[in-house]
C-alpha cells in the first residue's frame, strides 16, 4: 500500500486484519490521532512508513513489540510523544529506525542496547526533551545522544509547520541547564512554567517574540544565577513579581511590549547588578519609580532626563491611562540633582504632595496637574527657592495657601486653579517680586485681594481669582489693568485695538480708560458695544469681570468676535442693574446662577444664534427686572410658570426662538406678571393654545400657532422650520402649513402615536437661489429615533445641537457637502445604535475621541470622507457593543492600527481599507476578536510586518481580506484552524514568501481563494488542496516563483467555476485529462506558463466554459475536434504555443 498524499483522518484500527501485509506506507499525508495498538497483529510487516504526518500524535504502542519481522520503521517528523517502549527490545529484525523530529522524552531504554541486535541506523535527533547516553550495544563508547539540543531552531523543527507548540514544562527536569533560548515564533503558546524554578543553574533565559501568556511566575525567584532574562513581545499580563528581588546577579532584564500592569516593585531596588532594564510598551503600568532603582538602571525612553551623569528631569505626564493607581513618589526626594518634575495628566495619580520634596532645592520646574493629588500644599516647600514655575491645577488639593511660600522669590508662574483650596490670600506673598502670572481661580478662597500685593508684585501681569465665590472686597485700582479684572478682560476679549488706552500698571479711573466709568475711584460701568477683537482673533466673554463686585452696568456685544459661554463667575456681580450682550456669538445655556443678580432691572441678549436650551426657572428670583429681551436665539422648551413672580416686568421679548407648548396660565396679567405691557412671542412656530383676552391685549403672537389647538402642530411647525433651513425645497412640497404632519402625506416623515419618529430627507434640493443647510431645528423633534440626510446640495457644518436628540437610534449622512469637523458633542447621543457617514467630501478634522462615550453604538460606518484626518482613536476601545465597524475609502487618517481595539470583542464585521496613511503591523492582540465573521484590511499600502498567526483564534471568521499591503513572511499555516472560512484574499501583499500551506487543505468551506500577485511565493501547487470541495474560484496568477505541474488531484474540485493561474512561468507539465470532471468551469486562464503536451480531448466536457486562455505556453499537437462541444465559449486564446493544425471545421 503506497501513500498518495491524500489520506486524512485517523489510522484505521481495522487494518489490523491485514495480517499478510508486508509493506505499509502512509507517509507525507494528513493522518491524525494516535498509532493503533491493534496493528500488533500485522506480524508479517517488514516495512512501515509513517513520516511527515504533522497531526499524528500520542505514544509508541508497547503492543507493537510483536512485530518481530519489521526491518524498517520510519515515524519521523510527526507529533509523537512519551517515552520509548522498553518492550520493543523484542523487535530483533529492526535494522533501520527513524524517530527524529518528534517530542519524545526521557532516555533510550537500556534494554534496546542488548535486544535490538540487528540495528544498523537509529535516528532520534531533534527530540529536544530526550537526554542521557546511548545504551551499550548501540553506542559502546557511551557517547551522548546525538541531536539533543535546546536551540530555538531545533524546537521549531519539533513542532511541524501548522501546529502550535506549548512551552515545555518538562525542561524543569533538566536541572543541569544553564541556558534556554526560545521564541521567535507565534507558534509557541501557553503560560510560563512555574516548574522552571527548579532550574537553579540557569544563567541565560530568553523567550521573546512569541505568544507566551499568563503572568510572570513569582516562583522564578529561585533562579538566582540568572544574569540575562528576556521576555519581550509576548502576551504576558499581571504585575512585576516583587519576589524577583532575589535575582541579584541580573545584568539585563527586558520585558517590553506585553500588557503588564502595576508599578515597579520597591523591592527591586536590591537588583544592584542591573545595568539595563526595559519595560516599554506596557501601557497599563503606572505608579512611582523607586529612587534607588532609577539611579542604578538604564531608564532611557521613560521620561528621565540626564545631564552630566545625573538625573535632572522626570517627565511622566500621562503614564497611567488605565490600570492600577500610582502614588506620588516620595522617593524622588533622594534625587537632589533634579531641576524638573512633570507628572500628572491622569486621574490614576493619587496621594498627597510629599513634604520630603523640600530637599529638592535645585528644582526649577514643578508640575502635577490634571490628576487626583490630594491633601494640602506643603509649607516645607518654602525651601524650593530656585523654582520659577509651579503648577498644581485641577487636582483635589485642600487647605490654605502657605504664607511660607513667600521665600520663592524666583517664581514667575504659579498656577493652582480648580482645586478646593480655602482661606485668605497670604499678604506675605507680596515678596514674590518676580511673579508675572498668578492663577487661583476655581477654588473656595475667601476675603479680598491683599492691599500689600498692589505695591509688592511689580511684575504681575495676570491675576486670576475668578470662581472663588466666597471672595469679596474691592480690587485695588492699580491692579485693574494687570489682574483678572480689566487687564485680563482686554486679553479675554481678544486684545481689541480700541482698548489701546488700557495700559498695565495705570489706574483706569485716573487715566480715562475707554469705555470705563468710575465713581469714588472704583470701576462701576463698562460700555464697550461693538468693540471687536484684534484681526484674526476671537474673544470670549470676560469671566474676570466677576471680581468687580460693584459693577452697575455691563454693555458688550455688537460683534461676532465676542463668543463663548456666559461665565458662572458673573453671579458675584450682585450690584449689577443693567446687562447688555446682544448681536454676538454667545453659545450654551442661560446660567441658572444669574438668579442671584436680584438688582438687575434690564437684560438684553438678543441675536446670539448659538444660545440654546430652556429658559431658567430660577430667574423667577429677579423680581426687580423690568425689561428682558432674548429674541433671535435658539431657546427651546416651555415657558417657565415660575416667572409669574416677575411682577416688575413690563417688556419681555422672546420672539424668533424655538419655544414650545402653551403660555402658562400663571403668566396671565390677572394672575401674575401684573406690570406686563408687551410680551413678544412671535416667530415661535411651535407655540400653540388659547389665551385670555387680558393676555391677548399685550401679546404679539404673529407666526405662531397661539389661538390654535395643540394637536401635532408642534411637530408640523418644527418640520416647517426644517423645510425653511433646507432652502424651501420643492422636494418637500407636501409639507404644507396647517396640515397634520402625521397624517401620512408628508414625504420622508414617519410617525408613531402622533410623534415624528423618523425623517428621510436625503437628496433634497433647495429652491432656486437658496441654500440647504443641515437643519438645527431638528432638535425640536425630541421623539426622533431615525434620521437620514445628505445629498450634494446639503451644505454647512454638522450641527452640534443634534447632540440633544437623546432618543435618536440611527443617523445616516451620505453624499453631502457638509463642512467642518465631526462634532465631539454627538457623544451625548446616548441612544445611538447606528451611525453612518459616507461620501461627505468636504468634511474635515479628526475622528472625535469623545465618541468613545457612545456606549450603545453597535454599527459605525465612516467611508469615503477624503478630508477627515488624524489618528484612529484608541479610546474607541470602550465601544464594546460595536458589532460592525467600517472605515474605508479615501481619507487622511494616519497612525497605526489601534491595538486597543482588541477589546471590541462583540465585533462581527471589521473593515479598515484604502487608508494610504495607515501604517504599522496587523495587531496580534486582535486574536481576541473571536466573534468576527468578516475582516477586511485591504489596500492599506503602508501596512507591513507579518500576517499574525495568532488570528487562528478567530474561530467564527468567514471572510478574510488582507491584500494590497507590504507584508512579509509566510502565509500562516495556523490559519487552517479557522475552518469557518469561506473567502480568503491575500493578493498584492508585498514580500510574502514561502510555500502554499498544505495545512489549508482542511478549509473545506472555502469557496473563494485569491492569492494573486505575490511574486515571492514558491513551491508547487499543493495536491492536498483537492479536499477544498467547496472551492468555486481560485486565483494564483503572477506568482513567478511557483513551479511544478498542475495537481492531478484537483480534478476533485468539481465546484470550480473560475481558475486563474496566469503568468507563472515556472509552472509546467501537462494538462490533465482528469480535469474533465470540472464541468462547472466558466473561466480558465493558464496562460504565461511552461505547460507542455497536448490539449486534452476529454476537456470537451467543459460545456459551461466561456473563457479559455492557454496562450504563451509550450503546448503541442492538434486542437481536438471534440472541443466543438464547447458551445458556451466566447473567448479562446491558444497563441504562442506549438500547436500543429488549423481549427477543426466543426
CB atoms within 10 A of CB 15: 16
pLDDT at 1104 over 90: yes
Strands 444-447 and 420-423, sheet pairing: parallel
Task: Give the tens place of pLDDT for each residue, 26-71.
Answer: 888 888 889 999 999 999 999 999 998 888 989 999 999 999 999 9
Residues in the chain: 1146
More confident residue, 1007 or 150: 1007
Kindly give the residue spans of alpha helices, DSSP state H, lying in 22-102.
none
Average pLDDT over residues 612-640: 85
Nearest to 174 by CA among 192, 149, 211, 142: 149
Cβ–Cβ under 8 Å, residues 911 and 888: yes
Confidence of residue 635 (pLDDT cuts 50, 70, 90): confident
For the chain, the distance separating the N- and C-terminal CA atoms, rounded to the nearest angstrom, is 46
More confident residue, 177 or 5: 177
Residue 476 has a pLDDT of 61
SS3 17: helix
Task: Give the tens place of pLDDT for each residue, 947-984.
Answer: 999 999 999 999 999 988 889 999 999 999 999 999 99
Confidence of residue 151 (pLDDT cuts 50, 70, 90): very low
Kindly give the residue spans of alpha helices, DSSP state H, lying in 44-151.
110-115
147/130 Cα distance (integer angstroms): 9
Residue 1054 has a pLDDT of 95
Average pLDDT over residues 96-123: 83
**Count of CA atoms in the C-beta half-sphere (13 A) of 51:** 13
CA 298 remoteness from chain centre: 31
pTM over 0.75: no
Average pLDDT over residues 488-497: 77
The C-alpha angle with vertex 1132 and arms to 1131 and 1138, in degrees rounded to 5, equals 160
pLDDT at 91 over 70: yes
Cβ–Cβ under 8 Å, residues 208 and 231: yes
450/448 Cα distance (integer angstroms): 6
Full DSSP string of 988-1005: S-SEEEEEPPGGGGG-TT
Integer angstrom CA distances of residue 956 from 560, 922, 1000, 1002, 1025:
56, 19, 16, 15, 21
Task: Give the tens place of pLDDT for each residue, 707-720.
Answer: 876 656 667 778 88
Q: Rounded to the nearest 5°, which phi and psi values hold at 909?
A: -135, 135
The C-alpha angle with vertex 917 and arms to 911 and 922, in degrees rounded to 5, equals 50
1038/1061 Cα distance (integer angstroms): 8
More confident residue, 798 or 592: 798
The secondary structure of 464-498, three-state, reads ECCCCCEECCCCCHHHCCCCCCHHHHHHHCCCCHH
**In 61-138, which ranges are E strands?**
72-74, 79-82, 96-98, 103-106, 121-123, 129-130
416/576 Cα distance (integer angstroms): 29
Integer angstrom CA distances of residue 795 from 804, 824, 991, 1094:
21, 19, 45, 66
Nearest to 830 by CA among 803, 797, 849, 850: 803
545/567 Cα distance (integer angstroms): 9
Average pLDDT over residues 220-229: 89
**Count of CA atoms in the C-beta half-sphere (13 A) of 767:** 9
Name every residue whose Cβ is closer than 8 Å to that of residue 735 and which is 6 or more positions away in sequence: 719, 720, 723, 741, 746, 747, 749
Give counts: helices (H), strands (E), the chain. 7, 86
555/403 Cα distance (integer angstroms): 39
Confidence of residue 287 (pLDDT cuts 50, 70, 90): very low
SS3 749: strand
Task: Give the tens place of pLDDT for each residue, 246-269.
Answer: 998 887 788 877 777 766 777 787
Average pLDDT over residues 407-428: 88
123/136 Cα distance (integer angstroms): 16
Residue 293 has a pLDDT of 47
Residue 616 has a pLDDT of 84
243/225 Cα distance (integer angstroms): 15
Task: Give the tens place of pLDDT for each residue, 1052-1073.
Answer: 999 999 999 999 999 999 999 9
Residue 161 has a pLDDT of 34
pLDDT at 829 over 50: yes
Task: Give the tens place of pLDDT for each residue, 839-893.
Answer: 999 999 999 988 988 989 999 999 999 999 988 888 898 899 999 999 999 888 9
List % helix, strand, coil for the chain (3-state, nearest 5).
Answer: 20, 30, 50
Residue 611 has a pLDDT of 64
Residue 345 has a pLDDT of 59
Q: Per mean pLDDT, which of 159-168, 463-472, 517-526 is the most reliable?
A: 517-526
806/785 Cα distance (integer angstroms): 9
Residue 275 has a pLDDT of 65
Q: What is the CA radius of gyration of the chain?
A: 40
Strands 47-49 and 23-25, sheet pairing: parallel
The secondary structure of 848-894, three-state, reads CHHHHHCCCCCEEEEECCCCEEEECCHHHHHCCCCCEEEEECCCEEE
Confidence of residue 1092 (pLDDT cuts 50, 70, 90): very high
Please report which helix (H) or strand (E) contains residue 46, including its range. Answer: none
pLDDT at 450 over 80: yes
Cβ–Cβ under 8 Å, residues 1032 and 1056: yes
DSSP state of 354: P
Residue 601 has a pLDDT of 95
SS3 288: coil
Residue 833 has a pLDDT of 95
- Where is average pLDDT lowest: 194-203, 311-320, 468-477? 311-320
pLDDT at 528 over 70: yes
Output the average pLDDT for the chain. 83
Query: Residue 526's beta-bridge partner residues?
Result: 516, 554
Please report which helix (H) or strand (E) contains residue 369, including its range. Answer: strand 365-369
297/314 Cα distance (integer angstroms): 14
996/985 Cα distance (integer angstroms): 13
Q: Rounded to the nearest 5°, which phi and psi values hold at 475?
A: -85, 130
Confidence of residue 501 (pLDDT cuts 50, 70, 90): confident
Residue 344 has a pLDDT of 64
DSSP state of 820: B
Name every residue whose Cβ is closer than 8 Å to that of residue 586 and which is 6 or more positions away in sequence: 541, 562, 563, 564, 565, 566, 605, 608, 610, 611
Average pLDDT over residues 312-325: 45
pLDDT at 401 over 90: yes
Name every residue whose Cβ is closer than 8 Å to that of residue 605 and which is 6 or more positions away in sequence: 579, 580, 581, 582, 586, 590, 611, 629, 630, 633
180/432 Cα distance (integer angstroms): 62
pLDDT at 1025 over 90: yes
Percentage of residues in the chain having pLDDT higher than 70: 86
Residue 292 has a pLDDT of 43
**Count of CA atoms in the C-beta half-sphere (13 A) of 813:** 24
SS3 700: strand
Amino acid at each position: 500500500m503506497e501513500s498518495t498524499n491524500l489520506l486524512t483522518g485517523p489510522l484505521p484500527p481495522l487494518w489490523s486484519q491485514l495480517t499478510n501485509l508486508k509493506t505499509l506506507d502512509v507517509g507525507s499525508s494528513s493522518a491524525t490521532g494516535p498509532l493503533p495498538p491493534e496493528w500488533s497483529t500485522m506480524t508479517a510487516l517488514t516495512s512501515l512508513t509513517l513520516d511527515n504526518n504533522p497531526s499524528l500524535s500520542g505514544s509508541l504502542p508497547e503492543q507493537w513489540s510483536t512485530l518481530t519481522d519489521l526491518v524498517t520503521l520510519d515515524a519521523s517528523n510527526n507529533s509523537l510523544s512519551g517515552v520509548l517502549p522498553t518492550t520493543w527490545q523484542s523487535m530483533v529484525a529492526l535494522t533501520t529506525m527513524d524517530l527524529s523530529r518528534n517530542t519524545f522524552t526521557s532516555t533510550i531504554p537500556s534494554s534496546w542496547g542488548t535486544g535490538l541486535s540487528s540495528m544498523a541506523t537509529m535516528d532520534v535527533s531533534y527530540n529536544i526533551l530526550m537526554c542521557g547516553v546511548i545504551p551499550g550495544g548501540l553506542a559502546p563508547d557511551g557517547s551522548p545522544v546525538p541531536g539533543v539540543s535546546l536551540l530555538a531552531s531545533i524546537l521549531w523543527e519539533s513542532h511541524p509547520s501548522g501546529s502550535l507548540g506549548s512551552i515545555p514544562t518538562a525542561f524543569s527536569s533538566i536541572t543541569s541547564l544553564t541556558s534556554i533560548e526560545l521564541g521567535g515564533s507565534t507558534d509557541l503558546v501557553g503560560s510560563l512554567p512555574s516548574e522552571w524554578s527548579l532550574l537553579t543553574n540557569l544563567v541565560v533565559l530568553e523567550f521573546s517574540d512569541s505568544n507566551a501568556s499568563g503572568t510572570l511566575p513569582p516562583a522564578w525567584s529561585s533562579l538566582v544565577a540568572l544574569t540575562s532574562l528576556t521576555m519581550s513581545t509576548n502576551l504576558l499580563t499581571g504585575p512585576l513579581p516583587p519576589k524577583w528581588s532575589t535575582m541579584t546577579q541580573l545584568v539585563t532584564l527586558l520585558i517590553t511590549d506585553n500588557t503588564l500592569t502595576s508599578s515597579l516593585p520597591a523591592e527591586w531596588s536590591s537588583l544592584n547588578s542591573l545595568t539595563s532594564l526595559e519595560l516599554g510598551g506596557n501601557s497599563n503600568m503606572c505608579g512611582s519609580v523607586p529612587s534607588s532603582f532609577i539611579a542604578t538602571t538604564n531608564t532611557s525612553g521613560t521620561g528621565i532626563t540626564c545631564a552630566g551623569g545625573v538625573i535632572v528631569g522626570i517627565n511622566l505626564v500621562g503614564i497611567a491611562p488605565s490600570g492600577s493607581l500610582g502614588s506620588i513618589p516620595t522617593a524622588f526626594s533622594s534625587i537632589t540633582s533634579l531641576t524638573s518634575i512633570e507628572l500628572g495628566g491622569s486621574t490614576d495619580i493619587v496621594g498627597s504632595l510629599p513634604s520630603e520634596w523640600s530637599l529638592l532645592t535645585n528644582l526649577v520646574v514643578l508640575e502635577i496637574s490634571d490628576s487626583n493629588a490630594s491633601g494640602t500644599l506643603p509649607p516645607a516647600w518654602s525651601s524650593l527657592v530656585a523654582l520659577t514655575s509651579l503648577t498644581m491645577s485641577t487636582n483635589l488639593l485642600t487647605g490654605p495657601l502657605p504664607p511660607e511660600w513667600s521665600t520663592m522669590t524666583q517664581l514667575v508662574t504659579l498656577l493652582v486653579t480648580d482645586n478646593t483650596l480655602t482661606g485668605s490670600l497670604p499678604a506675605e506673598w507680596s515678596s514674590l517680586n518676580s511673579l508675572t502670572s498668578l492663577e487661583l481661580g476655581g477654588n473656595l478662597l475667601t476675603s479680598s485681594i491683599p492691599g500689600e500685593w498692589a505695591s509688592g508684585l511689580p511684575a504681575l501681569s495676570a491675576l486670576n481669582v475668578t470662581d472663588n465665590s466666597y471672595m469679596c472686597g474691592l480690587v485695588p485700582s492699580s491692579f485693574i489693568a494687570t489682574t483678572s479684572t480689566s487687564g485680563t478682560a482686554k486679553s479675554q476679549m481678544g486684545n481689541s485695538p480700541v482698548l489701546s488706552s488700557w495700559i498695565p500698571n495705570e489706574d483706569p479711573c485716573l487715566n480715562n480708560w475707554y469705555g470705563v466709568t468710575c465713581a469714588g475711584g472704583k470701576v462701576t460701568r463698562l460700555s464697550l458695544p461693538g468693540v471687536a477683537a484684534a484681526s484674526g482673533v476671537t474673544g470670549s466673554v470676560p469671566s474676570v469681570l466677576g471680581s468687580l463686585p460693584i459693577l452697575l452696568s455691563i454693555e458688550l456685544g455688537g460683534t461676532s468676535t465676542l463668543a463663548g459661554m456666559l461665565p458662572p463667575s458673573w453671579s458675584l456681580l450682585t450690584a449689577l442693574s443693567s446687562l447688555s450682550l446682544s448681536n454676538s456669538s454667545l453659545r450654551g445655556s442661560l446660567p441658572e446662577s444669574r438668579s442671584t443678580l436680584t438688582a438687575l432691572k434690564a437684560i438684553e441678549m438678543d441675536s446670539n444664534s448659538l444660545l440654546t436650551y430652556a429658559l431658567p426657572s430660577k430667574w423667577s428670583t429677579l423680581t426687580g427686572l423690568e425689561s428682558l429681551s432674548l429674541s433671535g436665539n435658539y431657546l427651546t422648551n416651555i415657558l417657565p410658570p415660575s416667572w409669574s413672580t416677575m411682577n416688575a416686568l413690563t417688556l419681555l421679548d422672546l420672539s424668533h426662538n424655538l419655544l414650545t407648548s402653551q403660555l402658562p396660565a400663571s403668566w396671565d396679567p390677572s394672575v401674575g406678571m401684573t406690570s406686563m405691557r408687551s410680551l413678544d412671542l412671535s416667530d415661535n412656530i411651535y407655540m400653540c393654545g388659547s389665551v385670555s383676552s387680558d393676555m391677548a391685549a399685550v401679546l404679539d403672537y404673529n407666526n405662531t400657532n397661539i389661538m390654535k389647538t395643540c394637536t401635532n402642530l408642534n411637530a408640523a411647525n418644527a418640520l416647517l422650520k426644517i423645510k425653511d433651513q433646507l432652502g424651501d425645497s420643492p422636494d418637500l412640497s407636501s409639507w404644507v402649513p396647517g396640515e397634520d404632519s402625521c397624517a401620512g402625506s408628508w414625504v420622508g416623515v414617519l410617525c408613531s402615536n402622533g410623534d415624528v419618529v423618523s425623517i428621510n430627507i436625503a437628496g433634497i434640493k433647495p429652491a432656486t437661489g437658496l441654500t440647504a443647510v443641515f437643519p438645527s431645528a431638528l432638535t425640536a423633534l425630541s421623539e426622533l429615533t431615525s434620521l437620514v440626510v445628505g445629498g450634494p446640495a446639503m451644505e454647512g457644518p454638522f450641527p452640534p445641537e443634534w447632540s440633544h436628540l437623546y432618543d435618536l437610534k440611527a443617523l445616516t449622512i451620505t453624499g453631502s457637502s457638509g463642512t467642518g469637523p465631526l462634532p465631539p458633542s454627538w457623544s451625548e447621543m446616548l441612544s445611538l445604535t447606528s451611525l453612518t457617514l459616507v461620501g461627505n467630501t468636504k468634511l474635515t478634522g479628526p475622528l472625535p475621541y469623545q465618541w468613545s462615550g457612545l456606549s450603545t453604538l453597535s454599527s459605525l460606518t465612516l467611508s469615503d470622507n477624503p478630508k477627515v484626518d488624524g489618528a484612529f482613536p484608541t479610546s474607541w476601545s470602550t465601544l464594546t457593543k460595536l458589532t460592525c465597524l467600517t472605515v474605508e475609502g479615501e481619507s487622511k487618517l494616519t497612525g497605526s492600527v489601534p491595538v486597543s481595539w482588541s477589546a471590541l470583542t462583540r465585533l462581527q464585521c471589521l473593515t479598515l481599507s484604502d487608508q494610504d496613511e495607515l501604517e504599522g503591523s496587523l495587531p496580534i492582540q486582535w486574536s481576541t476578536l473571536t466573534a468576527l465573521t468578516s475582516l477586511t484590511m485591504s489596500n492599506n499600502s503602508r501596512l507591513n510586518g507579518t500576517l499574525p498567526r495568532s488570528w487562528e483564534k478567530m474561530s467564527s471568521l468567514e471572510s478574510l481580506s488582507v491584500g494590497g499591503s507590504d507584508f512579509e513572511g509566510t502565509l500562516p499555516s495556523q490559519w487552517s484552524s479557522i475552518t469557518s472560512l469561506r473567502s480568503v484574499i491575500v493578493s498584492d501583499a508585498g514580500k510574502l514568501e514561502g510555500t502554499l500551506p498544505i495545512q489549508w487543505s482542511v478549509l473545506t468551506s472555502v469557496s473563494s481563494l485569491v492569492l494573486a500577485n505575490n511574486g515571492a511565493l514558491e513551491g508547487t501547487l499543493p495536491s492536498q488542496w483537492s479536499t477544498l470541495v467547496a472551492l468555486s474560484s481560485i486565483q494564483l496568477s503572477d506568482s513567478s516563483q511557483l513551479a511544478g505541474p498542475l495537481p492531478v488531484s484537483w480534478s476533485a474540485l468539481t465546484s470550480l467555476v473560475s481558475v486563474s493561474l496566469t503568468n507563472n512561468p515556472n509552472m509546467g507539465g501537462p494538462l490533465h485529462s482528469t480535469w474533465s470532471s470540472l464541468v462547472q468551469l466558466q473561466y480558465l486562464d493558464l496562460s504565461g506558463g511552461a505547460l507542455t503536451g497536448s490539449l486534452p480531448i476529454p476537456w470537451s466536457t467543459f460545456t459551461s466554459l466561456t473563457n479559455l486562455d492557454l496562450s504563451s505556453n509550450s503546448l503541442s499537437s492538434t486542437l481536438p475536434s471534440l472541443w466543438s462541444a464547447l458551445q458556451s465559449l466566447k473567448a479562446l486564446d491558444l497563441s504562442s504555443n506549438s500547436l500543429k493544425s488549423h481549427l477543426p471545421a466543426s
